[in-house]
Amino acid sequence: MRNRLILLPGWGLGVSPLEPLAAALQGLDEHLRVEIVPLPELESSDLEEWLDELDSIVPQDAWLGGWSLGGMLACELAARRGDRCCGLLTLASNPCFVAWAGWTNAMHEDDFNAFLNGCRLNPDVTLKRFSLLCAQGSADPRALARLLLAGAPKTPASVLLAGLDLLGKLDTRRALSGFQGPQLHLLAGLDGLVPAEAAGELLALLPDVEIGLIEQASHAFLLEDPHGVAGAIQAFLHEFGDD
């Protein structure tokens, strides 16, 4: 259904950060059905288990999108579905969240491992730190971090750890290259989690898809300017939709 968009949230913060964007999209196009599907609550970091769960609950023949980890999972699900996915869009999603020799513009492995260990020891403190990193680069980082944290669900520590472990292992480059449908990838210039330079690396990987860099924005740019982001998404959907 080309009038249906499914959005997947990022790690740990639940569906709340996507709600203003969904409302803005609905306001731009009354015929567009926007649904936010929560991430699975799994204690495993096995990608196939996550995809099996998502495949069972996410409607077929829709546009797939997501923020951060949700965007990475949307990439993998789109590649799995192929022609049964109308198209793909991601927000502040890096093909590899953790840097390695084949993808350098990402979080350093030592920093991520410290994050992972922090989550094992004190998930609440780690989630607070994560919200601050999400808000880094915004006009009012502390206020935005508080907003992100206020809407976060009470997720079991084992589920948070599994999701974070999955985030660290994911490499969506093959999925992105293999998916033949339309793609839009939006990144932020002042992102504290995904380096802005990843946009150039992504463009080299995918020269024929739409990649945008919102320069003065944080990882949580979908909350900073939901109407602006909605406008970019609506233009993309309109360009490739049946209308």
Q: Give 43-84 pLDDT, tens digit per residue.
A: 999 999 999 999 999 999 999 999 999 999 999 999 999 999
Residues 6+ apart with CB under 8 A from 29: 234, 237
Residues 6+ apart with CB under 8 A from 210: 182, 183, 184, 185, 236
Tokens of 77: 């699900």
How is the chain split among helix, strand and coil, in percent rounded to 5? 50, 15, 35
The pLDDT assigned to 101 comes to: 82
The pLDDT assigned to 243 comes to: 45
The number of CA neighbours under 13 Å toward the Cβ of 4 is 12
Sign of CA dihedral 232, 235, 239, 241: positive
C-beta of residue 28 within 8 angstroms of C-beta of residue 234: yes
Q: Which of 29, 93, 131, 219 is catalytic?
A: 219
Q: Which of 68, 93, 131, 138 is catalytic?
A: 68
Domain CATH for 100: 3.40.50.1820
C-beta of residue 25 within 8 angstroms of C-beta of residue 19: no
Q: Which of 131, 185, 191, 218 is catalytic?
A: 191
Determine the average pLDDT of the residues in 117-143: 96
Whether the per-residue pLDDT at 40 is higher than 70: the answer is: yes
191 catalytically annotated: yes
Q: Which domain holds residue 154?
A: 4-240
For 149-183, the pLDDT digits (tens) are 999 999 999 999 999 999 999 999 999 999 999 99
Name which residue leads in pLDDT, 242 or 104.
104
- Alpha-carbon gap, residue 101 to 217, rounded angstroms: 27
- In degrees to the nearest 10, what's the CA dihedral of 221, 225, 227, 231? -50
What are the DSSP calls for 145-177, one per residue?
HHHHHHT-----HHHHHHHHHHHHH---HHHHH
When divided into structural domains, the chain yields a total of 1
68 catalytically annotated: yes
Whether the per-residue pLDDT at 10 is higher than 50: the answer is: yes
Whether the per-residue pLDDT at 1 is higher than 80: the answer is: no
C-beta of residue 182 within 8 angstroms of C-beta of residue 85: no
Hey, how many other C-beta atoms are within 10 angstroms of the C-beta on 215? Answer: 9
What are the DSSP calls for 47-71, one per residue?
HHHHHHHHHHHSPSSEEEEEETHHH
Residues 6+ apart with CB under 8 A from 229: 21, 24, 91, 186, 214, 221, 222
